[in-house]
Amino acid sequence: MNTLYLHAYHHFFPDQAGNNQNLRHQLKQYGIDSRRQARFTQLALLGALPLQHRINSQTAVYLSSPYSSPEKFDRAFAAVHQHQTPSPLDFMANTHNAAVFHLAQLWNIQAETLFLSIDTHQHWQPVWLAQNYLAHNPDGQILLGWAFEAGSIGGREGSCWWLLGSKADGALAEIGFTPSADNLAATDFLAPFTQFEQDIVWKKKVMFVAEGLAALSVCK
């Protein structure tokens, strides 16, 4: 497998005051009216937007999550259960690829975009896809994200985004993967990625075991 290079990363976790109104206010600072967006989309955008100065129209965008917006789904399901018609706006806002669509529209993305449904046993599956994309587009780059909206099940919400390429120049870290057994199932969906980022900051070497054994070495 080809080596991946991490060129930039950013994550967003709402604080205790991170209600929908607060998220909308933060997005408004980027010139985005998010009143019709699902909370999931808001969380994803707030994680990705600080990297926008590194994005061009040929940047692929992949986003992964167990689901999109439980909040919107629950509201639509409740309406059906009460023999009412669900809001078309809620239905559109809960489309799985809504967050990726908004980013692609905002940045005029011409490259591939994808939403991938994964669980805690498949944390690193999107990295394999990114590796495959860059193998066929060696001069390109890919913005790879993981996002989570807790809904009624609870857990830490937010999103983590990595800008990956196949060139070492200017990279923060080199990421290599080899096949391994899947024996990691974190209860905190975003935990592996934040730990990965912390190890970059502290310049440690780290290994995670999921679909692949992820070995990180910090570029000098």
Is 218 within a domain?
no
- Tell me what the mean pLDDT of segment 54-75 comes to: 81
Is 149 within a domain?
yes
Is 195 within a domain?
no
- Tell me what the mean pLDDT of segment 55-79 comes to: 76
Count of structural domains, the chain: 1
Instruction: For residue range 172-219, list pLDDT tens digits in order.
Output: 888 765 544 444 445 677 776 776 666 665 454 443 333 333 444 445
At residue 51 the predicted structure's pLDDT band, cuts being 50, 70 and 90, is: very high
Is 183 within a domain?
no
Crossing angle of the two packed helices 39-48 and 98-107, in degrees rounded to 10: 40
Is 81 within a domain?
yes
The residue range of the domain holding 88 is 8-168
Residue 136 has pLDDT above 90, yes or no: yes
Can you read off the two tokens belonging to residue 60? 């692929």
117 beta partners: 65
CA-closest candidate to residue 118, choices 126, 128, 107: 126
Is 15 within a domain?
yes
Is 16 within a domain?
yes
**Could you give the count of Cα atoms lying within 13 Å of 52 in the half-sphere of its Cβ?**
15
- 74: CATH: 3.40.47.10
Q: How far apart are CA 15 and CA 130, in angstroms?
A: 30
- Tell me what the mean pLDDT of segment 157-184 comes to: 76
Is 62 within a domain?
yes
Residue 86 has pLDDT above 70, yes or no: no
Handedness of CA 47, 5, 143, 55 (dihedral sign): positive
